[in-house]
Structure 1
């Protein structure tokens, strides 16, 4: 059995002990707080980890794109929320086929989207939908309150749609600087959902699902009062953003990119064979660098080209040599499996399995 440092670099490795611990911890937190867990699979895009999440207690999964849902359903994972507005005849035809063989729920944030979705369901088998509420990110969703009520009333006129409840993405929580701000953002997200649900129910529209929550919100789940379903994703792996938010430690970060020093052009300068195609150029919250070097906190990854990473360090304090292996926690772990296509599951530093990323490239 090979060690992780014998893998060809750059390689994406996942410490299975850490990932399994993260999966179990969030499942336990959801149970303790009375929340249904529907994790987002976009960080791993893998049926291996989706099955682990379901085995730990998740009651379904969340995907971003219909192509991810198609992959998961083809592998027998069929309780799926597609958390994205589906627009256009091509996607609606695919959704119709999925709806016929899986338990699909999707979101709607306007009448145009609702009209399209109404062509998917039928009176005998209506398509379940959640109204997406804009809780402050302005990325999507209708506005809370009266606008949401008006849309709910319109959705209810389509017998081929079944309005289950409300959905939001509280992305502002990622700007939190401390636990108090995490709690405040989570409470605000839940408050928007509760207030809009109350307005709908006052007008005779039942609401059974309030879907929200994210990985940062899992540390303040008690603040998601009234939310029935949470959709964290990044907690499986964590990354530099999690470190900087204070919701994870290095020992919680399961996914790392292994790279090799390929050049030392000057003292204090080194180049590795992992660039943006391995690590992603996504920034992290409150960081100007492109990853955290495990056991080398004084070495800084300051720039990426497609196939090169630029390291800077104090040569009076540190030496790096061609051939040195470097272990990097990426800024944004959710992007890395989609770049790689294969993850190496390791335990105790030994490679235990190759994990396929079946939904790699399924972004349509």
Structure 2
């Protein structure tokens, strides 16, 4: 085990474990107060060590976005898993394989065709457990809560022998907001329309025990969750610059950063060149369309505190990042940031930046631990 971040090869993904634990506790406490079960989405971290801390805090089950995640977490002892992407027919045999091994894997559909494929592919001795995705904000996927297809899908699953577990939604439009009142309104819309979909299924004589909602902004903005049984969200565990613009966290809540080394200067341009380019930070420039553009990320000292002068990664090539002061002032680069200086860059999107790495480096009382993460589908 290395003893210092100065001993790690760069670029590297670094977790601030104190911030991570604080974020986990904040969300779990909120879900407990709202009286709902919490099923965190592990797609952000893809890391068993982080999920273990979420489970220890009180989480019930996990949410995944790939079957690779389901397989990895099941092998690590997680057997209550929701695969929250509408199932493609070719993945049904792989999903059934997990269930055959004892994994309580629930899957998702939002079309008549997918429901029919599930019924045709399932095992009679172990039918699939299925939720129907409901569209509550026009963001991406799902069937409308008043759409007749909702009932048709439910009947296909129920009469075909599958276990109809309930409805699920994701208020993805929350990522486009930055006003607390608007976020509260969308959280209530997410709740109300999901509950309405559940009521319609029940009125049609179909089972609907689960009403599952979730996004980090709405989870942190909802005032009440009457009729909801569980909440899912994931990026809250690390947060990122995008979420600071949405308004649900502060810079000091961001728990993931990229460790990088200064490798050059362009003094006449006011540039610092570092060895973390877009292969480390990702190509995600989501903050460019928000109220504050953070480039590819903001620079911090080795302790994780933003540097004075508002240094931002204004540009990135594959293995090079360019830092400059956003206030336009030229600074004494060679004196303040000599070659070899270690810095940490806070990312725009924790999910995308984490995906660039196969491991996290975590500072503990005993030194720097390495936590495995994984990618793939």
TM range (shorter): over 0.9
1:113 aligned residue? 114
1:28 Cα deviation from its structure 2 partner: 1.5
Aligned counterparts of 1:224 and 1:280: Cα–Cα separation in 2: 35
Query: Structure 1: which 4+ aligned runs deviate by more than 6 Å?
Result: none
1:344 aligned residue? 361
- CA deviations on 1:203-229 (whole Å, 9 max, x unpaired) are 222321111111112322324432211
Aligned counterparts of 2:210 and 2:198: Cα–Cα separation in 1: 9
1:137 Cα deviation from its structure 2 partner: 3.6
**Partner residue of 1:321 out of 316, 338, 359:** 338
1:95 aligned residue? 95
Secondary structure at the residue paired with 1:80? strand
Task: Describe how 1:177-192 pairs up with structure 2 within 5 A.
Answer: 177-192=178-193
1:61 aligned residue? 62
2:369 aligned residue? 353
2:286 aligned residue? 284
1:143 Cα deviation from its structure 2 partner: 2.2
Contact 1:240 1:284 in 2 (8 A): no
Gaps of 5+ in 2: 301-305
Report the TM-score when normalising by structure 1: 0.93
Contact 1:4 1:351 in 2 (8 A): no
**Partner residue of 2:157 out of 151, 155, 161:** 155
2:238 aligned residue? 237
Secondary structure at the residue paired with 2:286? coil
Q: Does 1:311 align with 2:339?
A: no
1:351 Cα deviation from its structure 2 partner: 3.7
Aligned counterparts of 1:12 and 1:196: Cα–Cα separation in 2: 41
1:84 Cα deviation from its structure 2 partner: 1.1
Aligned counterparts of 2:215 and 2:329: Cα–Cα separation in 1: 41
Gaps of 5+ in 1: none
Aligned counterparts of 1:211 and 1:290: Cα–Cα separation in 2: 33
1:123 Cα deviation from its structure 2 partner: 4.0
2:303 aligned residue? none
- CA deviations on 1:233-285 (whole Å, 9 max, x unpaired) are 01111110111112111221111111111110233112111011111111234
Aligned counterparts of 1:283 and 1:255: Cα–Cα separation in 2: 17
1:48 aligned residue? 49
Contact 2:36 2:230 in 1 (8 A): yes
Task: Describe how 1:72-83 pairs up with structure 2 within 5 A.
Answer: 72-83=73-84
Aligned counterparts of 2:26 and 2:324: Cα–Cα separation in 1: 36
Aligned counterparts of 1:169 and 1:82: Cα–Cα separation in 2: 13
1:263 aligned residue? 264
2:130 aligned residue? 129
1:305 Cα deviation from its structure 2 partner: 1.1
1:24 Cα deviation from its structure 2 partner: 1.7
Report the TM-score when normalising by structure 2: 0.90
1:180 Cα deviation from its structure 2 partner: 0.7
1:21 aligned residue? 22
Change (3 A) 1:249 1:288: closer
Secondary structure at the residue paired with 2:82? strand
**Partner residue of 2:313 out of 298, 301, 312:** 301
Aligned counterparts of 1:187 and 1:284: Cα–Cα separation in 2: 25
CA-atom RMSD, angstroms?
A: 1.8
Aligned counterparts of 2:329 and 2:144: Cα–Cα separation in 1: 55
Contact 1:275 1:309 in 2 (8 A): yes
Change (3 A) 1:221 1:347: farther
Aligned counterparts of 1:98 and 1:120: Cα–Cα separation in 2: 14
